[in-house]
Amino acid sequence: DIQMTQSPSTLSASVGDRVTITCRVSESINRWLAWYQQKPGKAPKLLIYKASSLESGVPSRFSGSGSGTEFTLTISSLQPDDFATYYCQQYDSYSPRTFGLGTKVEIK
Amino acid sequence: EVQLLESGGGLVQPGGSLRLSCAASGFTFSSFAMSWVRQTPGKGLEWVSVITSRGGKTFYADSVRGRFTISRDNSENTLSLQMNSLTADDTAIYYCAKGADWTAQSYFDHWGQGSLVTVSS
């Protein structure tokens, strides 16, 4: 199976900070990568698909980049509503879809 | 508005069976692949199974293949997951997730609220 390595596992930041989360993949997946946000007790919510496409309704402060085996999620100016856990997920071909272990964004 | 409502979770003994259902509304159910994804504190998010829009293809994670069966009823807008030979490792919150298109190769653009399955004696 394709392995996903997210870093950091925890990130402490302040409102207004620029935040970057990295997802490294064990083999090339072109741009078949999605990012999700999850808050405690809630289901994940889609933010980004195809590495850099912003899901409808998601604020433009979220952006994604990368291709192949390295991807990033950037929050340009962290807002109070953004404190949550973020997951990357690959959906390359018919291989099992796999998720990263998550990055928890905490208040500094 | 897309809505996915899971039901059928609960407490089951090791070796037992359980059937989860997901009632879908707010979109043309028969046009989209559907998946089950589970989450545990220890293993994080784990994709379990996917079924294409018309039910023609199904895929499973190695951890559940041969024990779980995914199915759908497009006339009733319902997705199901039959889980047999359950073990403690199957304890998790199970989410119903809508694919972004009809294929098995897709991300998940909407998720249900989740249904807790606990396998314990």
Q: Which helix (H) or strand (E) holds B15?
A: none
Beta-carbon contacts of residue A32 (< 8 Å; ≥ 6 apart): A50, A51, A90, A91, A92, A93, B105
- Locate the chain A residue with the closest alpha carbon to B36: A97
User: C-alpha angle with apex B107: B88 to B54, nearest 5 degrees?
Assistant: 85
How many whole angstroms separate alpha carbon B37 and alpha carbon B22? 12
Mean pLDDT of A15-27: 97
How many whole angstroms separate alpha carbon B67 and alpha carbon A3? 24
Return the exposure string of A53-90: e unless at least 16 CB atoms fall within 10 Å of the residue's CB, then b.
ebbeebeeebbbebeeeebbbebeebeeebebbbbbbb
pLDDT digits (tens, 9 = 90+) for B81-105: 999 999 999 999 999 999 999 888 8
Q: Contact A88/A100 with Cβ under 8 angstroms?
A: yes
- CB contact under 8 Å between B111 and A45, yes or no, is yes
The pLDDT of residue A95 is: 72
How many whole angstroms separate alpha carbon B95 and alpha carbon A42? 11
Q: Which two tokens stand for residue B33?
A: 């692949």
Residue A103: is its pLDDT beyond 80? yes
Mean pLDDT of A34-63: 97
Task: Using 70 as the pLDDT threshold, list the residues of chain B that sit under it.
Answer: none
Q: Which residues of chain B from 19 to 78 reach within 8 Å of chain A, CB to CB?
A: 35, 44-47, 50, 59, 61-62
Mean pLDDT of A55-62: 97
- CB contact under 8 Å between A96 and B45, yes or no, is no
Size of interface A-B (CB pairs under 8 A): 53
The pLDDT of residue A94 is: 65
- CB contact under 8 Å between A89 and B107, yes or no, is yes
The partner residue sitting opposite B61, judged by closest CB among A42, A55, A96, is: A96
Say if residue A52 is exposed, middle or buried (CB neighbours under 10 Å; 0-12, 13-18, 19+): middle
Q: Please list every residue in chain A whose beta carbon sits closer than 8 Å to the beta carbon of residue B103.
A: none
Q: Contact A103/A11 with Cβ under 8 angstroms?
A: yes
The partner residue sitting opposite A87, judged by closest CB among B45, B105, B109, is: B45
Q: How far A61 CA lies from chain B's nearest CA (Å)?
A: 19
